[in-house]
Structure 1
Amino acid sequence: MLFAIGDIHGQLAQLEQALARIEAEAGPDARIIFLGDYSDRGPDSKGVLERLSSGLAEGRNWVCLKGNHDRMFHRFVVEGELHDEAIKSGKGWLDRALGGGATLYSYMNPPAIRHPLGGGMEMIASMGVDPVAPDLKAALLEGARAKVPQSHLDFLAARPLWHEEDGCIFVHAGIRPGVPMEDQVEEDLIWIRDGFLEDDTDHGKLIVHGHTALEHATHFGNRLDLDGGAAYGRPLYPAMLGDDGEWTLLTWEGSEPLKPAGSYL
Protein backbone atom coordinates (compact mmCIF):
# COMPACT_ATOMS: atom_id res chain seq x y z
CA MET A 1 0.00 0.00 0.00
CA LEU A 2 1.21 3.47 -0.85
CA PHE A 3 -0.20 6.98 -1.16
CA ALA A 4 0.30 9.88 -3.55
CA ILE A 5 -0.41 13.58 -3.12
CA GLY A 6 -0.68 15.98 -6.05
CA ASP A 7 0.18 19.66 -6.35
CA ILE A 8 0.11 21.41 -2.93
CA HIS A 9 0.92 25.01 -3.97
CA GLY A 10 1.41 26.53 -0.55
CA GLN A 11 -1.73 25.04 1.01
CA LEU A 12 -0.28 23.95 4.34
CA ALA A 13 -3.60 23.46 6.12
CA GLN A 14 -4.80 21.17 3.33
CA LEU A 15 -1.51 19.27 3.39
CA GLU A 16 -1.93 18.64 7.10
CA GLN A 17 -5.46 17.38 6.49
CA ALA A 18 -4.23 15.04 3.77
CA LEU A 19 -1.45 13.68 5.99
CA ALA A 20 -3.91 13.14 8.83
CA ARG A 21 -6.24 11.29 6.46
CA ILE A 22 -3.39 9.01 5.38
CA GLU A 23 -2.27 8.39 8.94
CA ALA A 24 -5.81 7.42 9.91
CA GLU A 25 -5.79 4.92 7.05
CA ALA A 26 -2.30 3.43 7.39
CA GLY A 27 -0.48 4.85 10.41
CA PRO A 28 2.42 7.32 10.77
CA ASP A 29 4.89 5.33 8.67
CA ALA A 30 2.81 5.26 5.48
CA ARG A 31 4.65 5.38 2.17
CA ILE A 32 3.83 8.69 0.44
CA ILE A 33 4.87 9.99 -2.97
CA PHE A 34 4.54 13.77 -3.39
CA LEU A 35 4.24 14.86 -7.02
CA GLY A 36 5.86 18.30 -6.79
CA ASP A 37 4.73 21.95 -6.91
CA TYR A 38 4.99 22.66 -3.22
CA SER A 39 5.26 26.43 -3.66
CA ASP A 40 3.44 29.40 -5.27
CA ARG A 41 -0.16 30.68 -5.37
CA GLY A 42 -1.23 29.43 -1.94
CA PRO A 43 -0.68 31.29 1.35
CA ASP A 44 2.06 29.26 3.06
CA SER A 45 4.75 27.88 0.76
CA LYS A 46 7.25 28.38 3.58
CA GLY A 47 5.22 26.15 5.87
CA VAL A 48 4.78 23.46 3.22
CA LEU A 49 8.49 23.35 2.43
CA GLU A 50 9.37 23.23 6.12
CA ARG A 51 6.91 20.38 6.68
CA LEU A 52 8.26 18.31 3.80
CA SER A 53 11.96 19.04 4.22
CA SER A 54 11.86 18.38 7.96
CA GLY A 55 9.84 15.21 7.35
CA LEU A 56 12.52 13.83 5.05
CA ALA A 57 15.22 14.86 7.51
CA GLU A 58 13.36 12.92 10.23
CA GLY A 59 13.36 9.80 8.06
CA ARG A 60 9.73 9.81 6.95
CA ASN A 61 8.88 7.17 4.36
CA TRP A 62 8.35 9.83 1.70
CA VAL A 63 9.46 10.55 -1.85
CA CYS A 64 9.20 14.22 -2.84
CA LEU A 65 9.50 14.90 -6.57
CA LYS A 66 10.38 18.16 -8.31
CA GLY A 67 7.72 20.35 -9.93
CA ASN A 68 8.11 23.27 -12.32
CA HIS A 69 7.09 25.79 -9.65
CA ASP A 70 9.67 24.39 -7.25
CA ARG A 71 12.35 24.93 -9.88
CA MET A 72 11.17 28.48 -10.59
CA PHE A 73 11.33 29.38 -6.90
CA HIS A 74 14.78 27.87 -6.49
CA ARG A 75 16.09 29.56 -9.64
CA PHE A 76 14.92 32.97 -8.47
CA VAL A 77 16.59 32.75 -5.08
CA VAL A 78 19.82 31.17 -6.33
CA GLU A 79 20.20 32.72 -9.80
CA GLY A 80 17.90 35.75 -9.73
CA GLU A 81 16.00 34.31 -12.70
CA LEU A 82 12.34 35.26 -13.14
CA HIS A 83 11.54 33.68 -16.51
CA ASP A 84 11.41 30.12 -17.74
CA GLU A 85 11.67 29.35 -21.45
CA ALA A 86 8.91 26.76 -21.12
CA ILE A 87 6.37 29.53 -20.45
CA LYS A 88 5.43 30.49 -23.99
CA SER A 89 3.45 33.56 -22.88
CA GLY A 90 6.66 35.07 -21.53
CA LYS A 91 5.15 35.64 -18.10
CA GLY A 92 7.59 35.74 -15.23
CA TRP A 93 7.49 33.96 -11.89
CA LEU A 94 6.14 37.08 -10.16
CA ASP A 95 3.18 37.36 -12.52
CA ARG A 96 -0.08 36.74 -10.69
CA ALA A 97 -0.75 33.67 -12.85
CA LEU A 98 2.46 31.99 -11.65
CA GLY A 99 2.08 33.06 -8.03
CA GLY A 100 5.68 33.61 -7.01
CA GLY A 101 4.75 36.70 -5.04
CA ALA A 102 2.69 34.59 -2.66
CA THR A 103 5.73 32.42 -2.00
CA LEU A 104 7.94 35.40 -1.20
CA TYR A 105 5.22 36.85 1.03
CA SER A 106 5.20 33.66 3.09
CA TYR A 107 8.88 34.26 3.89
CA MET A 108 9.05 38.04 4.24
CA ASN A 109 7.11 41.26 4.45
CA PRO A 110 9.66 44.06 4.73
CA PRO A 111 7.85 47.42 4.54
CA ALA A 112 10.59 48.92 2.35
CA ILE A 113 9.54 46.70 -0.57
CA ARG A 114 6.65 48.30 -2.41
CA HIS A 115 4.39 47.26 -5.26
CA PRO A 116 4.57 49.73 -8.19
CA LEU A 117 0.91 50.66 -7.49
CA GLY A 118 1.50 51.09 -3.76
CA GLY A 119 1.28 48.59 -0.93
CA GLY A 120 3.89 46.13 0.21
CA MET A 121 4.47 42.41 -0.07
CA GLU A 122 0.81 41.63 0.49
CA MET A 123 -0.09 43.46 -2.71
CA ILE A 124 2.77 41.78 -4.57
CA ALA A 125 1.39 38.44 -3.41
CA SER A 126 -2.20 39.18 -4.40
CA MET A 127 -1.72 41.18 -7.61
CA GLY A 128 1.63 39.99 -8.91
CA VAL A 129 4.04 42.22 -10.77
CA ASP A 130 5.45 41.60 -14.23
CA PRO A 131 7.61 43.02 -15.72
CA VAL A 132 9.61 43.79 -12.60
CA ALA A 133 11.62 46.98 -12.31
CA PRO A 134 15.32 46.36 -11.57
CA ASP A 135 15.21 48.05 -8.16
CA LEU A 136 12.18 46.02 -7.05
CA LYS A 137 13.74 42.80 -8.30
CA ALA A 138 16.96 43.58 -6.43
CA ALA A 139 15.05 44.26 -3.21
CA LEU A 140 13.00 41.09 -3.51
CA LEU A 141 16.08 39.02 -4.29
CA GLU A 142 17.98 40.46 -1.34
CA GLY A 143 15.03 39.79 0.95
CA ALA A 144 14.56 36.25 -0.33
CA ARG A 145 18.21 35.39 0.12
CA ALA A 146 18.07 36.69 3.68
CA LYS A 147 14.85 34.90 4.62
CA VAL A 148 14.68 31.59 2.74
CA PRO A 149 16.52 28.95 4.81
CA GLN A 150 19.33 27.08 3.16
CA SER A 151 17.61 23.85 4.17
CA HIS A 152 14.66 24.77 1.93
CA LEU A 153 16.95 25.54 -1.01
CA ASP A 154 18.82 22.28 -0.48
CA PHE A 155 15.52 20.42 -0.38
CA LEU A 156 14.36 21.98 -3.65
CA ALA A 157 17.69 21.34 -5.38
CA ALA A 158 17.79 17.67 -4.40
CA ARG A 159 14.34 16.62 -5.62
CA PRO A 160 14.29 13.68 -8.06
CA LEU A 161 12.40 14.07 -11.32
CA TRP A 162 10.58 10.73 -11.30
CA HIS A 163 10.10 7.61 -9.26
CA GLU A 164 9.04 4.06 -10.13
CA GLU A 165 7.23 1.80 -7.69
CA ASP A 166 4.45 -0.82 -7.66
CA GLY A 167 3.90 -0.81 -11.41
CA CYS A 168 3.62 2.98 -11.59
CA ILE A 169 5.84 5.84 -12.70
CA PHE A 170 5.38 8.93 -10.54
CA VAL A 171 6.31 12.26 -12.11
CA HIS A 172 5.21 15.87 -11.82
CA ALA A 173 3.94 16.72 -15.31
CA GLY A 174 4.19 13.56 -17.40
CA ILE A 175 6.49 11.86 -19.88
CA ARG A 176 7.37 12.09 -23.55
CA PRO A 177 5.55 9.05 -25.02
CA GLY A 178 7.79 6.45 -26.62
CA VAL A 179 10.97 7.68 -24.89
CA PRO A 180 12.61 5.35 -22.31
CA MET A 181 12.59 6.82 -18.82
CA GLU A 182 16.38 6.99 -18.68
CA ASP A 183 16.28 9.23 -21.78
CA GLN A 184 13.51 11.56 -20.61
CA VAL A 185 14.53 15.20 -20.15
CA GLU A 186 13.75 17.48 -17.23
CA GLU A 187 11.79 19.98 -19.31
CA ASP A 188 9.25 17.32 -20.23
CA LEU A 189 9.07 15.71 -16.80
CA ILE A 190 8.18 18.99 -15.07
CA TRP A 191 6.38 20.90 -17.86
CA ILE A 192 4.86 18.61 -20.51
CA ARG A 193 1.23 18.79 -21.57
CA ASP A 194 1.15 18.74 -25.39
CA GLY A 195 2.04 15.32 -26.70
CA PHE A 196 1.29 13.62 -23.39
CA LEU A 197 -2.21 14.50 -22.23
CA GLU A 198 -3.83 13.57 -25.54
CA ASP A 199 -1.81 10.37 -25.95
CA ASP A 200 -3.80 7.22 -25.11
CA THR A 201 -1.17 4.57 -25.76
CA ASP A 202 -0.07 2.11 -23.10
CA HIS A 203 3.15 3.38 -21.50
CA GLY A 204 3.90 -0.01 -19.95
CA LYS A 205 3.27 1.38 -16.48
CA LEU A 206 0.61 3.73 -15.15
CA ILE A 207 1.86 7.34 -15.18
CA VAL A 208 0.80 9.08 -11.96
CA HIS A 209 1.20 12.83 -12.28
CA GLY A 210 -0.03 16.30 -11.36
CA HIS A 211 0.68 19.66 -13.06
CA THR A 212 -2.54 19.87 -15.09
CA ALA A 213 -5.26 21.02 -12.71
CA LEU A 214 -8.65 19.35 -13.01
CA GLU A 215 -11.86 19.75 -11.05
CA HIS A 216 -11.27 16.27 -9.63
CA ALA A 217 -8.53 13.63 -9.78
CA THR A 218 -9.12 11.48 -12.86
CA HIS A 219 -7.91 8.10 -14.13
CA PHE A 220 -7.50 8.08 -17.92
CA GLY A 221 -6.42 4.45 -18.30
CA ASN A 222 -2.77 4.99 -19.12
CA ARG A 223 -2.30 7.88 -16.68
CA LEU A 224 -3.74 9.17 -13.41
CA ASP A 225 -3.91 12.95 -12.88
CA LEU A 226 -3.94 13.81 -9.16
CA ASP A 227 -3.88 17.60 -9.47
CA GLY A 228 -7.35 18.41 -8.18
CA GLY A 229 -6.74 22.16 -8.17
CA ALA A 230 -5.65 22.88 -4.59
CA ALA A 231 -3.92 25.97 -6.00
CA TYR A 232 -7.36 27.34 -6.85
CA GLY A 233 -9.07 26.51 -3.57
CA ARG A 234 -10.22 22.96 -4.30
CA PRO A 235 -9.51 20.12 -1.83
CA LEU A 236 -6.14 18.37 -1.67
CA TYR A 237 -7.23 14.74 -1.56
CA PRO A 238 -4.57 12.01 -1.28
CA ALA A 239 -4.86 8.86 -3.37
CA MET A 240 -4.16 5.32 -2.18
CA LEU A 241 -2.82 2.40 -4.17
CA GLY A 242 -4.13 -0.69 -2.44
CA ASP A 243 -2.54 -4.11 -2.25
CA ASP A 244 -5.03 -5.19 -4.93
CA GLY A 245 -3.50 -2.73 -7.41
CA GLU A 246 -6.56 -0.46 -7.38
CA TRP A 247 -6.44 3.29 -6.79
CA THR A 248 -8.78 5.05 -4.36
CA LEU A 249 -9.23 8.74 -3.64
CA LEU A 250 -9.42 9.51 0.09
CA THR A 251 -11.89 12.37 0.42
CA TRP A 252 -12.96 13.98 3.67
CA GLU A 253 -16.33 12.20 3.39
CA GLY A 254 -14.98 8.75 2.61
CA SER A 255 -13.26 6.82 -0.19
CA GLU A 256 -13.93 6.93 -3.92
CA PRO A 257 -12.58 4.36 -6.39
CA LEU A 258 -10.44 5.85 -9.15
CA LYS A 259 -11.39 3.77 -12.16
CA PRO A 260 -10.06 4.36 -15.71
CA ALA A 261 -13.28 5.95 -16.94
CA GLY A 262 -11.91 9.14 -18.50
CA SER A 263 -14.56 11.22 -16.77
CA TYR A 264 -14.92 12.93 -13.42
CA LEU A 265 -16.07 10.68 -10.61
Structure 2
Amino acid sequence: MHRPLAAPSRSVAASAPAGTRIYAVGDIHGRADLLSEITARIDDDIRRRPIARTVEVYLGDYVDRGSDSRTVLDLLAVRLVVHGAVCLRGNHEAVMEGFLQDPTILPYWLQLGGMQTLASYGVELRDENETAFNPHRHFVDAFPRAHELVMRCLRDQFSCGDFLFVHAGIRPGVPIEHQDPNDLIWIRDEFLDSTQSHERFVVHGHTPVPHPDIRQNRINIDTAAWRTGTLTCVAIEGSTILFL
Protein backbone atom coordinates (compact mmCIF):
# COMPACT_ATOMS: atom_id res chain seq x y z
CA MET A 1 0.00 0.00 0.00
CA HIS A 2 1.28 3.46 -0.92
CA ARG A 3 1.64 5.90 1.94
CA PRO A 4 0.06 9.35 1.54
CA LEU A 5 2.30 12.01 0.02
CA ALA A 6 2.22 14.25 3.07
CA ALA A 7 4.37 15.49 5.90
CA PRO A 8 4.84 12.94 8.72
CA SER A 9 2.89 15.15 11.14
CA ARG A 10 1.17 18.53 11.36
CA SER A 11 -0.13 20.70 14.17
CA VAL A 12 -3.58 22.26 14.00
CA ALA A 13 -5.54 24.75 16.08
CA ALA A 14 -7.58 22.07 17.84
CA SER A 15 -6.90 19.45 20.47
CA ALA A 16 -8.03 15.94 21.36
CA PRO A 17 -8.80 15.20 25.03
CA ALA A 18 -5.81 14.50 27.25
CA GLY A 19 -4.69 10.88 27.23
CA THR A 20 -6.62 10.14 24.04
CA ARG A 21 -5.42 9.20 20.56
CA ILE A 22 -7.91 9.19 17.68
CA TYR A 23 -7.32 7.12 14.55
CA ALA A 24 -9.35 8.30 11.56
CA VAL A 25 -9.52 6.33 8.30
CA GLY A 26 -10.66 7.72 4.95
CA ASP A 27 -12.95 6.31 2.29
CA ILE A 28 -12.34 2.57 1.75
CA HIS A 29 -14.62 1.75 -1.20
CA GLY A 30 -14.33 -2.01 -1.24
CA ARG A 31 -10.56 -2.21 -0.72
CA ALA A 32 -10.52 -4.85 2.00
CA ASP A 33 -6.83 -5.46 1.36
CA LEU A 34 -5.95 -1.87 2.25
CA LEU A 35 -8.25 -1.88 5.28
CA SER A 36 -6.54 -5.01 6.62
CA GLU A 37 -3.17 -3.28 6.31
CA ILE A 38 -4.46 -0.13 8.02
CA THR A 39 -5.99 -1.97 10.99
CA ALA A 40 -2.73 -3.91 11.43
CA ARG A 41 -0.86 -0.61 11.37
CA ILE A 42 -3.21 0.87 13.98
CA ASP A 43 -2.81 -2.15 16.25
CA ASP A 44 0.98 -1.99 15.88
CA ASP A 45 1.03 1.74 16.64
CA ILE A 46 -0.97 1.18 19.83
CA ARG A 47 1.46 -1.55 20.92
CA ARG A 48 4.47 0.67 20.26
CA ARG A 49 2.95 3.83 21.75
CA PRO A 50 0.56 2.87 24.55
CA ILE A 51 -1.92 5.51 25.68
CA ALA A 52 -4.83 5.54 28.12
CA ARG A 53 -7.58 5.73 25.49
CA THR A 54 -7.76 5.11 21.75
CA VAL A 55 -10.69 5.82 19.42
CA GLU A 56 -11.04 4.47 15.88
CA VAL A 57 -13.21 6.45 13.47
CA TYR A 58 -14.05 5.27 9.96
CA LEU A 59 -15.36 8.10 7.80
CA GLY A 60 -17.78 6.18 5.57
CA ASP A 61 -17.96 4.97 1.96
CA TYR A 62 -17.01 1.40 2.75
CA VAL A 63 -18.78 -0.07 -0.27
CA ASP A 64 -18.89 0.32 -4.09
CA ARG A 65 -16.22 0.73 -6.76
CA GLY A 66 -13.61 -1.57 -5.20
CA SER A 67 -13.93 -5.33 -5.54
CA ASP A 68 -14.51 -6.55 -1.97
CA SER A 69 -17.16 -4.52 -0.16
CA ARG A 70 -18.48 -7.61 1.61
CA THR A 71 -15.13 -8.30 3.30
CA VAL A 72 -14.78 -4.62 4.22
CA LEU A 73 -18.03 -4.86 6.19
CA ASP A 74 -16.83 -8.14 7.75
CA LEU A 75 -13.68 -6.39 8.97
CA LEU A 76 -15.56 -3.35 10.24
CA ALA A 77 -17.97 -5.60 12.16
CA VAL A 78 -14.97 -6.97 14.07
CA ARG A 79 -13.59 -3.48 14.76
CA LEU A 80 -17.01 -2.38 16.03
CA VAL A 81 -17.37 -5.31 18.42
CA VAL A 82 -13.79 -5.79 19.59
CA HIS A 83 -12.46 -2.23 19.50
CA GLY A 84 -15.61 -0.13 19.87
CA ALA A 85 -14.89 1.60 16.57
CA VAL A 86 -17.01 4.50 15.40
CA CYS A 87 -18.31 3.95 11.86
CA LEU A 88 -19.85 6.91 10.08
CA ARG A 89 -22.42 6.69 7.30
CA GLY A 90 -21.18 7.70 3.87
CA ASN A 91 -23.38 8.56 0.91
CA HIS A 92 -22.61 5.16 -0.64
CA GLU A 93 -23.91 3.35 2.44
CA ALA A 94 -27.02 5.54 2.31
CA VAL A 95 -27.66 4.53 -1.30
CA MET A 96 -27.06 0.85 -0.56
CA GLU A 97 -29.45 1.06 2.41
CA GLY A 98 -31.93 2.69 0.07
CA PHE A 99 -31.67 -0.18 -2.41
CA LEU A 100 -32.26 -2.71 0.35
CA GLN A 101 -35.61 -0.97 0.89
CA ASP A 102 -36.45 0.14 -2.65
CA PRO A 103 -35.35 -1.89 -5.71
CA THR A 104 -36.23 0.93 -8.11
CA ILE A 105 -33.06 2.85 -7.24
CA LEU A 106 -30.83 0.12 -8.73
CA PRO A 107 -29.94 2.14 -11.87
CA TYR A 108 -28.78 5.06 -9.71
CA TRP A 109 -26.75 2.77 -7.44
CA LEU A 110 -25.06 1.17 -10.43
CA GLN A 111 -23.87 4.61 -11.55
CA LEU A 112 -22.07 4.93 -8.18
CA GLY A 113 -20.30 1.57 -8.37
CA GLY A 114 -23.00 -0.65 -6.93
CA MET A 115 -22.32 -3.43 -9.43
CA GLN A 116 -19.03 -4.21 -7.69
CA THR A 117 -20.80 -4.37 -4.33
CA LEU A 118 -23.48 -6.71 -5.69
CA ALA A 119 -20.78 -8.94 -7.18
CA SER A 120 -18.97 -9.15 -3.83
CA TYR A 121 -22.17 -10.69 -2.41
CA GLY A 122 -22.45 -13.13 -5.31
CA VAL A 123 -25.11 -11.16 -7.18
CA GLU A 124 -23.79 -10.92 -10.75
CA LEU A 125 -25.42 -8.64 -13.31
CA ARG A 126 -24.49 -9.74 -16.81
CA ASP A 127 -26.18 -6.62 -18.13
CA GLU A 128 -27.23 -3.49 -16.27
CA ASN A 129 -30.71 -3.96 -17.77
CA GLU A 130 -30.90 -7.63 -16.76
CA THR A 131 -34.51 -8.61 -16.07
CA ALA A 132 -34.24 -12.41 -16.01
CA PHE A 133 -33.86 -12.44 -12.23
CA ASN A 134 -34.53 -10.20 -9.25
CA PRO A 135 -31.23 -8.63 -8.06
CA HIS A 136 -32.96 -6.98 -5.14
CA ARG A 137 -34.23 -10.27 -3.72
CA HIS A 138 -30.88 -11.96 -4.27
CA PHE A 139 -29.03 -9.11 -2.55
CA VAL A 140 -31.40 -9.03 0.42
CA ASP A 141 -31.02 -12.81 0.78
CA ALA A 142 -27.20 -12.56 0.58
CA PHE A 143 -26.87 -9.63 2.99
CA PRO A 144 -25.84 -11.18 6.33
CA ARG A 145 -27.25 -10.34 9.71
CA ALA A 146 -23.85 -9.05 10.88
CA HIS A 147 -23.88 -6.47 8.08
CA GLU A 148 -27.40 -5.38 8.98
CA LEU A 149 -26.11 -4.72 12.48
CA VAL A 150 -23.18 -2.70 11.11
CA MET A 151 -25.65 -0.55 9.16
CA ARG A 152 -27.67 0.05 12.32
CA CYS A 153 -24.55 1.20 14.15
CA LEU A 154 -23.60 3.84 11.57
CA ARG A 155 -23.50 7.42 12.82
CA ASP A 156 -23.83 10.67 10.90
CA GLN A 157 -21.24 12.52 13.00
CA PHE A 158 -18.87 12.04 15.92
CA SER A 159 -17.17 14.62 18.14
CA CYS A 160 -14.10 14.16 20.31
CA GLY A 161 -12.44 17.14 21.93
CA ASP A 162 -12.17 19.96 19.41
CA PHE A 163 -12.56 17.60 16.45
CA LEU A 164 -15.71 16.77 14.50
CA PHE A 165 -15.73 13.70 12.25
CA VAL A 166 -18.21 13.54 9.36
CA HIS A 167 -18.25 11.88 5.97
CA ALA A 168 -18.59 14.84 3.61
CA GLY A 169 -18.57 18.04 5.67
CA ILE A 170 -20.97 20.47 7.32
CA ARG A 171 -23.00 23.43 6.17
CA PRO A 172 -21.08 26.56 7.25
CA GLY A 173 -22.85 28.78 9.73
CA VAL A 174 -25.26 26.09 10.95
CA PRO A 175 -24.75 24.86 14.55
CA ILE A 176 -23.57 21.26 14.70
CA GLU A 177 -26.71 20.11 16.50
CA HIS A 178 -28.85 21.56 13.68
CA GLN A 179 -26.91 20.11 10.74
CA ASP A 180 -28.98 18.30 8.11
CA PRO A 181 -27.86 14.62 7.96
CA ASN A 182 -27.99 14.82 4.15
CA ASP A 183 -25.41 17.60 4.20
CA LEU A 184 -23.15 15.53 6.45
CA ILE A 185 -22.94 12.79 3.80
CA TRP A 186 -23.36 14.72 0.51
CA ILE A 187 -22.17 18.34 0.80
CA ARG A 188 -19.24 19.52 -1.30
CA ASP A 189 -18.60 23.05 -2.58
CA GLU A 190 -20.37 25.08 0.12
CA PHE A 191 -18.21 23.35 2.74
CA LEU A 192 -15.00 22.90 0.77
CA ASP A 193 -14.91 26.53 -0.34
CA SER A 194 -15.55 27.92 3.14
CA THR A 195 -12.65 29.48 5.03
CA GLN A 196 -14.64 30.39 8.14
CA SER A 197 -13.89 28.74 11.45
CA HIS A 198 -16.40 26.10 12.48
CA GLU A 199 -17.36 25.09 15.99
CA ARG A 200 -14.83 22.25 15.68
CA PHE A 201 -11.99 21.26 13.39
CA VAL A 202 -13.60 18.99 10.80
CA VAL A 203 -12.09 15.66 9.71
CA HIS A 204 -13.80 14.34 6.58
CA GLY A 205 -13.59 12.42 3.32
CA HIS A 206 -16.07 12.16 0.38
CA THR A 207 -14.19 14.37 -2.10
CA PRO A 208 -11.08 12.61 -3.44
CA VAL A 209 -7.78 14.46 -3.17
CA PRO A 210 -4.31 13.33 -4.33
CA HIS A 211 -2.94 13.63 -0.79
CA PRO A 212 -4.40 14.62 2.60
CA ASP A 213 -5.56 18.22 2.36
CA ILE A 214 -5.08 20.20 5.58
CA ARG A 215 -6.74 23.61 5.85
CA GLN A 216 -7.09 25.93 8.83
CA ASN A 217 -10.60 24.62 9.54
CA ARG A 218 -10.57 21.02 8.24
CA ILE A 219 -8.64 18.06 6.86
CA ASN A 220 -9.76 15.87 3.96
CA ILE A 221 -8.36 12.31 4.06
CA ASP A 222 -10.18 10.72 1.09
CA THR A 223 -7.28 9.70 -1.13
CA ALA A 224 -9.39 7.59 -3.55
CA ALA A 225 -8.17 4.26 -2.17
CA TRP A 226 -10.18 2.19 -4.65
CA ARG A 227 -8.14 3.42 -7.61
CA THR A 228 -4.90 4.79 -6.11
CA GLY A 229 -4.08 2.07 -3.59
CA THR A 230 -3.65 4.77 -0.93
CA LEU A 231 -5.91 4.46 2.09
CA THR A 232 -5.15 7.29 4.49
CA CYS A 233 -5.15 6.94 8.27
CA VAL A 234 -4.30 9.77 10.62
CA ALA A 235 -3.54 9.54 14.34
CA ILE A 236 -4.63 12.62 16.27
CA GLU A 237 -3.08 13.24 19.67
CA GLY A 238 -3.25 16.61 21.36
CA SER A 239 -2.98 19.12 18.51
CA THR A 240 -0.80 16.88 16.34
CA ILE A 241 -2.01 14.98 13.30
CA LEU A 242 0.33 12.11 12.44
CA PHE A 243 0.06 10.18 9.19
CA LEU A 244 0.44 6.44 9.76
TM-score clears 0.5: yes
Q: Distance in 2 between matches of 1:100 and 1:227?
A: 19
* 2:9 paired residue number: none
* 1:34 paired residue number: 58
List gaps (5 residues or longer) in structure 1: 84-90, 116-128, 251-265
What is the Cα deviation at residue 81 of structure 1? 4.3
List gaps (5 residues or longer) in structure 2: 1-20
Paired residues of 1:74 and 1:153 also in contact (CA < 8 A): no
1:1-55 per-position Cα deviation (integer Å, ceiling 9, x unaligned): 1110010001001001111111111139842111011100011100001111233
What is the Cα deviation at residue 62 of structure 1? 1.1
Q: Does 1:92 align with 2:108?
A: yes
Identity %: 35
Paired residues of 2:87 and 2:153 also in contact (CA < 8 A): no
* 1:67 paired residue number: 90
**Larger CA deviation: 228-237 vs 188-197:** 228-237
Q: Does 1:159 align with 2:154?
A: yes
Alignment of 1:49-128 (within 5 A): 49-58=73-82, 60-82=83-105, 92-95=108-111, 98-109=112-123, 113-115=125-127
Q: Does 1:24 align with 2:40?
A: no
- TM-score normalised according to structure 2 size: 0.84
Q: Distance in 2 between matches of 1:106 and 1:79?
A: 20
Which one scores higher on RCO, CA 8 angstroms, separation ≥ 6? 2
- TM-score normalised according to structure 1 size: 0.78
Paired residues of 2:25 and 2:58 also in contact (CA < 8 A): yes
Name segments (4+ residues, structure 1) moved above 4 Å: none
Q: How many residues align?
A: 220
Paired residues of 2:222 and 2:232 also in contact (CA < 8 A): no
| Higher helix proportion | 2
1:198 to 193, 199, 203: 193
Q: Distance in 2 between matches of 1:37 and 1:105?
A: 17
Alignment of 1:155-234 (within 5 A): 155-234=150-229
Q: Distance in 2 between matches of 1:57 and 1:25?
A: 20
What is the Cα deviation at residue 79 of structure 1? 2.3
* 1:247 paired residue number: 241
- 1:9 match: secondary structure: coil
Paired residues of 1:42 and 1:102 also in contact (CA < 8 A): yes
Amino acid at match of 1:202: S
